[in-house]
Structure 1
Amino acid sequence: MQGIGDWATRRAQLSGDKVAFVSGERSWTYREFDDRTNKLANQLRDRFGVRRGDRIAAVVPTSVECLEILFATAKLGAIFTPINVRLTAPEIGYVLADLGAELLFVHGAFAQAGDAVKEPGVRVREVVALGAEYDELLAAADPTPMTTMAGRHDVAVIMYTSGTTGRPKGAMITHENLRANAAAVTSAFGLRSCDVTVTALPMFHIGGLGLYTLPFIYVGGRNVIMPSFDPVAVLDAVVAEQATQLLLVPTMWQAIMDVPDLEHYDLSSLDCALTSGAPAPVSVLDFLARSGVPFREGFGMTECAPSVALLDSEHVREKAGSIGRPLFGIETRLVDDLDRDVPAGTVGELLVRADNVFAGYWMRPEETSHALRGGWFHTGDMGRADDEGFITLVDRKKDMLISGGENVYSREVEVVIAEMPGVHDVAVVAASHEKWGETPVAFVVSNKGAMLTEDDVIAFTRQRLARFKVPTRVEFIETLPTTATGKVQKNALRDRLLTETN
């Protein structure tokens, strides 16, 4: 099989009458899924002129339709980009322009996507609305099966991730990256065709696709797809469908724990509960232990499609705080500034080499060369390994925080606030938050005579950034602490927050 488009065809041959997806009251067999992706692929080619290498974007909820667009695009050898539905029109517009997207699928619930096509540099030729228009498109389509036109090392997906430059950059994930990730996940979790999962993570994040959605198609399992996260709906689906695998980020697990009458839900069908995106609180570990559900913590990155390491259920308490050990087929190193391996117990930068490591950043050759120098992906994460190979991260990527499972890079927030009239300088750091894990806090230096308030800054950023990126607090200070070379000392700002909290 050359590309992931072949997965749909092969699954239709091997598991045609088996239910592949359930969403609400509707279900799709693997044969129906392949038939619909063939129809959509033919329409994309014949009606919209989509060819190999073209970029197709989507602002749609987690849905079977999202997967149909992905697999139809893959059959054509085109490139799919799911865009975060929580982004504002200018943010979506930037992605569309940077990507050079020619076709955009949208869902009516996200009106900002329509405004985004009017942003500077956007060249989208056609916009297709999910719902009646999408259904009519398929109804009028040629059902002829399509042979996948993609090669293994062609780019299948470009997933945008925020960068330290303050602008998102597209991680180019190939068909082989997705296959290698699916194989690694299948091996790590022992996935079988009889397994059932509930997908509540958004598919515009690599975690929503790479864990477990694509691996389940790879092995022929059943996937219950939720358009948005609702803890009661997830619990109902686990019980009704007898789910065997469940992935949620820590904030979702905490929401599950807050459901009234939780003890009445029988979770015994679960062979594995998995969290990723941030370390799980002890309260979540205790809850799952009481439920008798084996619990694991995964660590991954967009650039690794996303799997890197796993903390297995046998060590989840003993090695609490660790990201675990690399999955089978994935190599890691911890190195110093000269890329020399550091001994156990010594802090170094985490490097990854594997078939699931991305091909580079879209239209950013210099950043690609830097990130993949020496044949290893330099993650920017600093960590140490113990004598058994368990890795503990001591600091995340520069200036990154995780809020409710969403990655937020402070530089992106700083760039927006710096554009506000009256702002002289700004630095953004993470603050602990009981519900979201972390949220951004902005330290602002005002121009002389400027009468800015916290509400002013928050309102300004809210118009330009997704809600999870908006600072929950703004502090005004006379000057930012800097080193002798003028670099902002963010550790000093974090220490200030800790002092104020205590």
Structure 2
Amino acid sequence: MVKGIGSWLPKQCERFGDKTALVYREKRFTYAQFNERVNRLADCFLAQGVQKGTRVGAILFNTNEMIEVLFACAKIGAICVPINYRLSVDEIEYIANDAGVDWLFYDERMQAAVTELTKRKTAIQTWVHVGAAVPFGQLEYEGLLREGNNQEPYVSVHIDDVHMMMYTSGTTGKPKGVMLSHGNTLWNAINAVHAMSLQDDDSTLTVAPLFHIGGMNVFTTTLLYKGGKVVLHDKFDPVLTLETIGKEKITTLFMVPAMWLAIMHLPNFDHYDLGSLRLNVSGGAPCPLTVIEFFQKRNIPFYEGFGLTETAPFVALLDPANSLRKNGSIGKTPIHTDARVVNEAGIDVQANEIGELIVRGPNVMKGYWNLPEATQNVMKEGWFYTGDLARVDEEGFFYIVDRKKDMIITGGENVYPTEVEQVIMRYPGVREVAVIGVHDEFWGESVKAFVVLQDHLQSLTVEELRNHCEGKLAHFKMPKFLEIIPQLPRNATGKILKNVLREQGGK
């Protein structure tokens, strides 16, 4: 029987048990030490009644404990539920109850929120504290590990079993629990290893949060599958990120565009030793072309990636060899995943026509937790309907045009905000931009741009912006309204919350 991802660790111990697997702050664990800690936790789970299918929640930062909980669950068939530590208590409570979380691991930095959560009616039976000063009646993480033994658990785990439930960011409506199987994570890793030629001497720095599919599966689980080194940062600090790349000789790095922007704007960026980097991937949101060009000019290989929680996440990747001539593309699909662009009837559109991107492959989720209707709405005849508008050119390169829900219709013409945003980003002094549609009695909708400037003393008028767009955009695509704001609202994974912009200033 094919086993789940928990079988990776003993295999790695056979190959190179003394090799470094995880680094978190001053702690360094070899594969043998990592596997022992996972086995001890898995043994405690079994001793205390955790079974296949039990949901184990984790409000943990990017720490070794988060990875250990994930793999301990995987070894016994339990389901790990990473929970966004930036959520409110009400939101955490919703996820805990929706998922039916039985055990909850939490970082001591979350004590105030968890104390409030213990006063509420939830499904949580066992609370495990990671850190010092353990509250009365709760378990302490390291003490729990000391009680377990270092024996491989004998639990039948199949590749199609769910091993992780990751909740969508919930920018529209309640977040949904995406059920990812052992096979989804395995095939995502296989796709990534093949597409990027990952080796067991590669290392990654995980700064994107592990409750986000990008932080968890782009390089973190993938390199543990391959036998590489994973360095964890529990918060994003641009300077520390660049220092760690040089210190740990990091070769692979995944970050969301907001993070790439932050390090790009460091005044002494060129003083850092980044010579070890060979794979830099941006994902989670469209990456401004100015960011890609910044790294290209410094001969730092830069990949534009595209994926979703529901696809674990690898859908497409644009390699550096094509990054200049195919700027703006997300590239092509990996070997074990297929994608198409279809019209409303589900029929493939012609080259460069816009339609909806649909995806099929062994990396596509099993469905949404307890939401059969929502699952049926997006899963049709084996294809996952992403809700993203896209086109594919004559050479098979995919381009994301925008989210269906973000498309603006003005005077019967379709305007895709991403296209407008890429043009505005080239205006001198613009740091970030988001474009939405606002109500217009005559045209139906008009284009409005929210702009963050690099210098708060700088000024910008809508006329100046329209002059900049002249010749680059059709007139109906140009912003009719402009609002300068200090920062764009984002969710915990770095995605811009356009629904918030519509509510607060979409008039």
Same fold by TM (over 0.5)?
Answer: yes
Code of the aligned partner of 2:17: G
User: Which residue number corresponds to residue 68 of structure 1?
Assistant: 68
Indicate whether 1:434 and 2:435 are aligned.
no
Superposed counterparts of 1:81-230, under 5 Å = 81-110=81-110, 111-120=112-121, 122-132=122-132, 133-162=140-169, 166-230=173-237
Structure 1 partner of 2:473: none
Deviation at residue 340 of structure 1 after TM alignment: 1.2
| Range moving further from structure 2, 82-91 or 313-322 | 313-322
Amino acid aligned to 2:40: K
Q: Which runs of 4+ in 1 moved over 6 A?
A: none
The 1:399–1:42 alpha-carbon spacing in structure 2 relative to 1, beyond 3 Å, is: farther
State the distance in 2 between where 1:56 and 1:233 align. Answer: 32
Q: Deviations over 1:441-474 (max 9, x none)?
A: xxxxxxxxxxxxxxxxxxxx99xxx998694685
CA distance in 2, matches of 1:254, 1:164: 22
Match of 2:58 in 1: 58
Alpha-carbon distance in structure 1 between the residues aligned to 2:246 and 2:175 = 39
User: Which string of whole-angstrom CA distances, capped at 9 and with x for unpartnered residues, describes residues 132-157 of structure 1?
Assistant: 41111112222222235321100010
Aligned-partner Cα distance in 2 for 1:257–1:335: 37
Deviations 1:418-461 (A, max 9, x none): xxxxxxxxx9x99644389xxxxxxxxxxxxxxxxxxxxxxxx9
Letter of the structure 2 residue corresponding to residue 41 of structure 1: A
In structure 2, how many angstroms separate the alpha carbons of the residues matched to 1:207 and 1:113? 26
Question: Relative to 1, partners in 2 of residues 1:386 and 1:11: Cα closer, same or farther, differing over 3 Å?
Answer: same
SS at match of 1:269: coil
1:219-238 deviations in Å (ceiling 9; x for gaps): 10011111111111111111
CA contact (8 A) 1:267 1:291 kept: no
SS of residue paired to 1:58: strand
Which residue of the partner structure matches residue 5 of structure 2?
Answer: 4
Kindly state the Cα deviation for residue 330 of structure 1 after the two structures are TM-superposed. Answer: 0.8
Give the counterpart of 1:350 among 357, 361, 364.
357
Matched residue, 1:27: 28
Aligned equivalent of 1:241: 248
Question: Using a 3 Å threshold, how does the CA distance of structure 1 residues 183 and 467 change in structure 2: closer, same or farther?
Answer: closer
Tell me if structure 1 keeps the 8 A contact 2:214–2:254: no
Please identify, of 306-315 and 388-397, the stretch whose mean Cα deviation from structure 2 is larger. Answer: 388-397
Please tell me the root mean square deviation across aligned C-alpha atoms, in Å.
2.8
Quick check: 148-157 or 33-42, which moved more?
A: 148-157
For this pair of structures, how many residues does the alignment match?
A: 427
Q: CA deviation at 1:384?
A: 1.1
Using the alignment, how far apart are the partners of 1:397 and 1:143 within structure 2?
A: 50
Residue in structure 2 matched with residue 380 of structure 1 by the alignment: 387
Aligned CA distance change for structure 1 residues 192 and 430 (closer, same or farther; 3 Å): farther
Match of 2:300 among 283, 286, 293: 293
Secondary structure of 2:145's counterpart equals: helix
CA distance, structure 2, for counterparts of residue 62 and residue 475 of structure 1:
32
Aligned-partner Cα distance in 2 for 1:336–1:362: 28
1:279–1:231 distance in 2 versus 1, CA, 3 Å: same
Tell me which amino acid in the other structure corresponds to 1:113.
V
Q: Percent identity?
A: 41
Does the CA contact (< 8 Å) of 2:185 and 2:217 recur in 1?
yes
Distance 1:279 1:435, change over 3 A: farther
Secondary structure of the structure 2 residue equivalent to 1:398: helix
- Where 2:193 maps in the other structure, the secondary structure is helix
Asked if the contact 2:165–2:179 (Cα under 8 Å) also holds between the matched residues in 1, the reply is yes
Separation of aligned partners in 2, 1:267 and 1:275: 17
Distance 1:202 1:431, change over 3 A: farther
Q: Are 2:62 and 2:233, in contact at CA under 8 Å, matched by a contact in 1?
A: yes
CA contact (8 A) 1:60 1:105 kept: yes
The answer as to whether partners of 2:289 and 2:328 remain within 8 angstroms in 1 is no
Equivalent in the alignment of 2:485: none
Q: Distance in 1 between matches of 2:158 and 2:285?
A: 34
In the aligned structure 2, how far is the partner of 1:148 from the partner of 1:75? Answer: 7
Q: Distance in 2 between matches of 1:264 and 1:213?
A: 27
Query: What is the correspondence of 1:311-350 to structure 2 with a 5 Å cutoff?
Result: 311-350=318-357
Query: Cα deviation per residue 1:73-100 (whole Å; 9 max; x = unaligned)?
Result: 1111010010111100000100001001
TM-score, normalising length: structure 2: 0.79
| Deviation (angstroms), 1:380 | 1.1
Distance 1:351 1:468, change over 3 A: closer
Counterparts in 2 of 1:484-495, with a 5 A limit? none
Q: Which moved more, 1:295-304 or 1:143-152?
A: 143-152
- Alignment partners' CA distance in 1, 2:495 and 2:187: 34
Q: 1:17 to 1:315 in 2, by over 3 A?
A: same
The SS at the match of 2:373 is helix
Evaluate the alpha carbon distance shift between residue 361 and residue 15 of structure 1 in structure 2; reply closer, same or farther with a 3 A threshold: same
Deviations 1:25-45, CA, capped at 9 Å, x for gaps: 220000111100000001111
SS of alignment partner, residue 315 of structure 1: helix
SS of corresponding position for 1:109: helix
Residue-by-residue CA offset, 1:271-322 (whole Å, 9 max, x unaligned) = 1211111232233223312332111110000000000001111222322222
Contact 2:215 2:254 in 1 (8 A): no
Cα distance change of structure 1 residues 341 and 109 upon mapping to structure 2, 3 Å threshold? same
TM-score by length of 1: 0.80
SS at match of 1:202: coil
| Distance (Å, rounded) in 2 between the aligned partners of 1:248 and 1:195 | 17
The runs of 5 or more residues in structure 1 that have no matched partner are 403-407, 411-426, 437-460, 477-492, 497-502
Rate the CA distance shift 1:281–1:475 in 2: closer, same or farther, 3 A: closer
CA shift in 2, pair 1:365/1:292, >3 Å: same
